[in-house]
């Protein structure tokens, strides 16, 4: 059973695929609340490459989820932080008034968003809505890549290629929290930022090619995907692990095609290659919430934008040189 409403809200809206300037802010109905969902009054969201894929419909494979000819869900935004406004009859563990954050897939760039309770958790006391909203997708990607795909152990040497954007800034801090020593690869203007979040060593990729270092690292987390298998394998010790979450983007298959090539090339090697896609899992959000509470991760926020400027925030992200996260404040 669903609870229908005639209440209205402001939301970013895009019913055609295209660049960010096709999005506008409209008044639309507050979404319906099903028995197994909660309704969140959104205080903040953030911008991810995922939102770019869902609003541009690229790579074309993304349309299998977002809609073949046009977006099925015209309000974008996955990361959310806010206060629970209403709770479906079948939901346990959340109450009206709870401060929560997590991932909703679509609909977070709005005053209200509906969430599956499996994809949210409580915001720890003392953590702001902005910091909470910056965390879900980028934090989950970094956590799952380092802890689950790479099985990083205390004392290991981790290099993060693409250390200055959303995922990279969480990855440097999470690798440190897992007990690794961390080398960050970023551009000149982000060197100080990488040091400030705990990188033991920073390589400016405009001056030095990190793949010229032979066999120094146990784990490469590649958030940039700028170098091929043979170049990156040199940086790893025997038995080292390359965890890659992106790569050159094919029009239809995105980075998937290149990742399959790399996987095939790694089959005969002592170094392993793993790729993966982040999952919105409550237990992992709780792990991130604990890290936020104890201060072992502090989201890096490049800029906050009002809801009306969410399309501009998305365009800024699409330029490819974010310094941490772009956060949308509602
Ligand atoms: N598999 C998954 O589940 C998953 C999840 C989230 C994201 N992703 C993918 O992972 C990638 C990173 O995501 P994100 O959210 O961190 O993106 P982001 O916030 O837009 O950051 C991208 C970063 O890439 C860096 N960069 C650009 N060229 C580089 C180069 N040649 N060498 C090293 N770094 C370079 C930029 O830093 P500089 O300014 O220093 O160049 C920028 O900070 C994206 O391609 C995204 O699609 C995958």
Q: Which tens digit of pLDDT belongs to each residue from 143-199?
A: 999 999 999 999 999 999 999 999 999 999 999 999 999 999 999 999 999 999 999
Q: Which structure tokens are listed for 243?
A: 């965890």
Q: Is residue 282 part of a domain?
A: no
Same-domain check for residues 151 and 130: no
Per-residue pLDDT, 5: 53
Whether 154 and 224 map to the same domain: the answer is yes
For the chain, how many structural domains are there in total? 2
Residue 161 beta carbon below 6 angstroms from any ligand 1 atom: yes
Indicate the top mutation candidate among 144, 188, 223, 302 to test ligand 1's pocket, ranked by most ligand atoms within 8 A of CB: 223
Domain span including residue 80: 2-135+299-329
- Comparing CA positions, the residue from 185, 179, 184, 171 lying closest to residue 152 is 179
Q: What is the CATH number for 197?
A: 3.40.50.720
Dihedral sign from CA coordinates of 327, 220, 120, 35: positive
**pLDDT tier for residue 257 given thresholds of 50, 70 and 90:** confident
Question: pTM higher than 0.85 for the full model?
Answer: yes
Q: Is the pLDDT score of 252 beyond 80? A: yes
Does residue 194 line the site of ligand 1, with CB under 6 A?
A: no
- Prior bond of 93 cis (ω within 30°): no
In a domain, 18, yes or no: yes
Q: In the structure, what pLDDT confidence band is assigned to residue 6 with cuts at 50, 70 and 90?
A: confident
Residue range 31-87, pLDDT digits in tens? 999 999 999 999 999 999 999 999 999 999 899 999 999 999 999 999 999 999 999
Statement to judge: residues 55 and 89 lie in one domain: yes
- Whether ligand 1 lies within 6 angstroms of the CB of 317 is answered as yes
Query: Which residue minimizes the CA distance to atom 33 of ligand 1?
Result: 162
Q: Are residues 259 and 303 in the same domain?
A: no
The SS3 of residue 108 is coil
One domain, residues 96 and 147: no
């Amino acid at each position: 059973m669903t609870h229908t409403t005639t209440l209205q809200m402001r939301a970013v809206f895009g019913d055609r695929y295209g660049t960010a300037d096709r999005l506008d802010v409209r008044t639309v109905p507050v979404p319906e609340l099903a028995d197994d969902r909660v309704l969140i009054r959104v205080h903040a969201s953030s911008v991810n490459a995922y939102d770019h894929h869902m609003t541009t419909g690229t790579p074309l494979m993304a349309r299998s989820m977002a809609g073949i000819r046009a977006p099925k869900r015209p309000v974008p935004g996955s990361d959310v932080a806010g206060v629970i406004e209403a709770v479906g009859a079948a939901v346990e563990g959340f109450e009206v008034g709870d401060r929560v954050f997590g991932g909703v897939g679509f609909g977070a760039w709005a005053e209200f968003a509906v969430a599956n309770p499996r994809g949210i958790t409580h915001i720890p006391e003392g953590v702001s809505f902005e910091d909470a909203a910056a965390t879900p997708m980028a934090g989950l990607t970094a956590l799952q890549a380092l802890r689950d795909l790479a099985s990083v152990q205390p004392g290991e040497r981790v290099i993060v290629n693409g250390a200055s954007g959303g995922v990279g800034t969480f990855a440097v801090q999470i690798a440190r929290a897992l007990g690794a020593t961390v080398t960050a690869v970023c551009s000149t203007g982000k060197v100080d930022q990488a040091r400030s979040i705990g990188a033991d060593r920073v390589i400016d990729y405009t001056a030095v090619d990190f793949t010229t270092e032979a066999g120094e690292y146990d784990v490469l987390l590649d958030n940039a995907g700028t170098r091929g298998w043979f170049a990156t394998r040199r940086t790893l010790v025997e038995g080292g692990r390359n965890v890659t979450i992106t790569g050159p983007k094919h029009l239809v298959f995105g980075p998937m095609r290149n990742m399959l090539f790399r996987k095939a090339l790694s089959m005969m090697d002592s170094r392993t290659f793993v790729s993966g896609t982040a999952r919105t899992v409550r237990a992992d959000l709780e792990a991130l919430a604990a890290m936020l509470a104890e201060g072992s991760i502090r989201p890096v926020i490049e800029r906050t934008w009002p809801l009306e400027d969410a399309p501009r925030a998305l365009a800024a992200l699409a330029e490819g040189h974010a310094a941490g996260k772009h956060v949308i404040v509602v």
